[in-house]
Amino acid sequence: MKNQPILAWGMILALLVVVCACQMPGEVRWIPTTEPTSTATPLPFFVASTAQPSPTPVRFVAAARTPLASTAAYDYLPRLAQRAGCALRQPATVTLDDRRLQVALVALKEPESAPGALEPGVRLFVTTYVITNSGETAVQLTLPTLFQGMNSSGQRLDAGGSVQVQQPESVVIPPRGRETVDLLWKTEVYGEDMRIWLTVNMPILPSGYVLASADGAVYAFRLADVGKPPAGATPCTMSARFVRETIDDDTVFAPGERFEKTWVIANNGTCPWIPNSVWAHFSGEAMGVTAPLPLTTVAAPGELLTVTVPMTAPLTPGTYRGDWRLRAPSGEFYCRAFYLRIVVRAPTATPTPRP
């Protein structure tokens, strides 16, 4: 019972505190208001009412990259050489202004003499090319434009280095003719294992890219290979043996008479004959033949080769001999020679009988 007065007084004090708080100035009263109605169309990413359907989500798809047409056919020169490069002595067919040429890099040589004093870290080397014009019209070539190079440091040999021609820079190759050219190159040397890439009818961009085309070719080799035989070359013997022939020695023909001479020869060596060889006049009388005979095939060891050549007897009476041999694309003759000897004799006038 003693606690009841204390509880009563506590309730009275709490009531007084509430009454005083309600009468304090600056009181903040919350008065409900009505939100103004808006006729504006809601933004697409809001839902205006539950009656409207949910917006369809937008999906962004990355556009496919389209390579530039102007760079689609370009390839990095070392990568192109690894995929489609030519080996030393391997002939390549090049089309230049709709004219077909056969080009072969046949030798890597040290120069016989330097054109002047060389700065340290620079080396000269010579490349020998054999160019064959297989067309019926003459071809004029500008050699420093047709041949370009790059080393493994990315330096173009016709720019940072230089290419010099050990003969006139422009050569003319006659129809069905052949020309051997030596090019003198200069390159900086950054290591013993430096690689060299030489192109034919493939201009090299400063970036090291080339326009990959069937109309050109690329040769690749190490600078250390200059002056050495081709890597992996296996010594073998090139040899040919006579089997039979048509037209015996000293067969008589009239001046200007046409005939065909056939040789059958055998490969009695230890390695196949060189691909793309021709049967060519070597010495003596050519019997009216003006161009070598292309061979569609060459004989492997133990195989036979038959060669038939259309000929014409000289116009002047006498005894004539001509020698013929196999000739490689490089222009080098190989194996023994095979000959033909005929006698040209004017027909004897028949005496008129006396009456």
Both 79 and 192 in one domain: the answer is: yes
Q: Decide if 54 is inside a domain.
A: no
Q: Decide if 31 is inside a domain.
A: no
Q: Decide if 235 is inside a domain.
A: no
Both 251 and 202 in one domain: the answer is: no
The pLDDT value given to residue 314: 96
Q: How confident is the model over 292-345, as pLDDT tens digits?
A: 999 988 888 889 999 999 999 999 999 999 999 998 887 788 899 999 999 999
For residue 250 the two structure tokens come to 């000293």
Residue 231, pLDDT > 90, answer no
Q: Decide if 48 is inside a domain.
A: no
Both 88 and 189 in one domain: the answer is: yes
| Helices and strands (H and E) in the chain: how many | 3, 20
Last residue in a domain, options 182, 202, 225: 225
**Mean pLDDT score of the chain:** 77
Both 79 and 220 in one domain: the answer is: yes
Report in angstroms the alpha-carbon separations of 348 from 254, 313, 319, 351.
10, 17, 17, 9
Both 104 and 188 in one domain: the answer is: yes
| Closest to 322 measured CA to CA, from 290, 277, 276 | 290
Last residue in a domain, options 180, 196, 225: 225
Residue 105, pLDDT > 70, answer yes
Both 183 and 313 in one domain: the answer is: no
Q: 133 or 67: whose pLDDT is higher? A: 133
Q: What is the CATH number of the domain that holds 96?
A: 2.60.40.1240
Q: Decide if 321 is inside a domain.
A: yes
The pLDDT value given to residue 177: 81
Q: Decide if 117 is inside a domain.
A: yes
Look at 94-103, 163-172, 193-202, 330-339 and tell me which has the smallest mean pLDDT: 163-172
> Is-contact 151 195, C-beta < 8 A?
yes
Last residue in a domain, options 172, 197, 225: 225
The pLDDT value given to residue 34: 41
Radius of gyration of the chain (CA): 45
Both 81 and 217 in one domain: the answer is: yes
Q: How confident is the model over 39-87, as pLDDT tens digits?
A: 443 333 233 333 444 444 333 333 333 333 344 578 889 998 888 888 8
> Is-contact 102 328, C-beta < 8 A?
no
Look at 29-43, 88-102, 125-139, 326-340 and tell me which has the smallest mean pLDDT: 29-43
Q: How confident is the model over 253-274, as pLDDT tens digits?
A: 999 999 999 999 999 988 888 8
The pLDDT value given to residue 261: 96
Both 186 and 94 in one domain: the answer is: yes
Q: How confident is the model over 185-216, as pLDDT tens digits?
A: 888 888 768 899 999 988 888 888 988 776 88
DSSP-derived 3-state class of residue 10? helix
The pLDDT value given to residue 70: 40
Q: Decide if 155 is inside a domain.
A: yes
The pLDDT value given to residue 276: 82
The pLDDT value given to residue 11: 66
Any residues with CB less than 8 A from the CB of 302 and at least 6 apart, and which? 266, 267, 268
Both 275 and 198 in one domain: the answer is: no
How many domains in the chain? 2
Which stretch, 16-25, 134-143, 193-202, 250-259, has highest mean pLDDT?
250-259
Phi, psi of 141 (to 5 degrees): -120, 140
> Is-contact 142 96, C-beta < 8 A?
no
For residue 25 the two structure tokens come to 């100035």
pTM of the model: 0.48
For residue 35 the two structure tokens come to 């939100």
Q: Decide if 85 is inside a domain.
A: yes
Percent of the chain scoring above 70 in pLDDT: 70
Query: What is the distance between the alpha carbons of residues 261 and 94, in angstroms, rounded to a whole number?
Result: 33
Both 83 and 221 in one domain: the answer is: yes
The pLDDT value given to residue 258: 96
The pLDDT value given to residue 229: 64
Both 153 and 214 in one domain: the answer is: yes
> Is-contact 127 108, C-beta < 8 A?
yes
Residue 161, pLDDT > 60, answer no
Both 203 and 281 in one domain: the answer is: no
Instruction: Supply the range of the domain harboring residue 264.
Output: 240-344
Q: What is the CATH number of the domain that holds 320?
A: 2.60.40.10
